[in-house]
Copies of this chain bind each other. A is one copy, B any other.
Amino acid sequence: MRTLKVIKIGGNIIDDATSLENFLVEFSKIEGPKILVHGGGKLATKLAEKRQVKVQVIEGRRITNAETLDIITMVYAGKINKNIIAELQKNNCNAIGFTGADGNTIVAEKRPIKEIDYGFAGDVVSVNIEVLETLLNNHITPVFCAITHDGNGQLLNTNADTIASELAIGFAKKYATELYYCFEKNGVLLDVNDTNSVVENINQETYQELLNNNVIADGMLPKLNNCFHAINQKVHKVCIGKSAMLYNQNSKFTTIQAS
């Protein structure tokens, strides 16, 4: 089985031009098939403020009204995605930008209204890998922003971590998929105040122990649940840490595997 790397970067890289440029140089050097997924960073919020669109956040989740979706589509799929593509081309990495609507790659459904109406937020229903596979076979790197569609003409806002894991899961039947979550920390830490206290390997059993011992910081719980969801769906391994884990052999990070 061939290996496919799905790499997600977030605000700490996106929001800093130099970090992003440096990351894309290293990303371009990674051999073999790969997919990049990027979040939106602070740009969308800034633009919303400029346009005086009220950004509503309930329980840590942004409510996507029509105007917010417009801004997200412009910033994520336009400005951020296309500048990343141009920069990758400069580094001789042939890339094409994607939303889930492009190539009908990621179909989602508008989150049902229960207590909260999340607006144009989409939960992933299906991932269609055929087009992406064709491109990967032609040495082209798909670059996804955090937008999907419902197949009925409606774009939807979907969490970038979810897009990355669903893509990794979608490819798991045909590739040994490796999912990399790049963020600002060295991975799962035993002591939040000690950046070197990295738990290097976690599997289903040791995860339970860590949970029982209350070692996992609250903020890490949704991230880790997302990782194990991917592992349970046959993703080969999930790595979380600073982006240096991708290219610096001395970098510490956390690897999550089934066993």
Write the residues of chain A forming the contact surface with B, with a CB cutoff of 8 angstroms. 50-51, 70, 73-79, 81-83, 85-87, 89-90, 94-99, 101-104, 130-131, 134-135, 138, 140, 147, 149, 151-155
Contact = CB atoms under 8 A, between A and B. Distances in A.
A83 B73 contact: yes
Given A96-B98, A103-B140, A79 B86 contact: no
B131 A90 contact: no
Contact of A149 (B50, B89, B149): B89
A85 B101 contact: yes
A76 B78 contact: yes
A86 B101 CA distance: 5
Contacts of A50: 51
A32 to B, nearest CB: 19
Contact of A79 (B78, B82, B83, B151): B78
Residue among A78, A130, A149 with max Cβ neighbours from chain B (10 Å): A78
Given A77-B78, A138-B131, A153 B86 contact: yes
Given A73-B78, A77-B77, 18 more contacts: A70-B79, A76-B78, A77-B81, A78-B78, A82-B102, A82-B147, A82-B155, A85-B149, A86-B153, A86-B154, A87-B153, A89-B101, A89-B104, A89-B151, A95-B103, A96-B98, A134-B135, A134-B138
Nearest to A99: B82
Contact of A83 (B81, B82, B155): B155
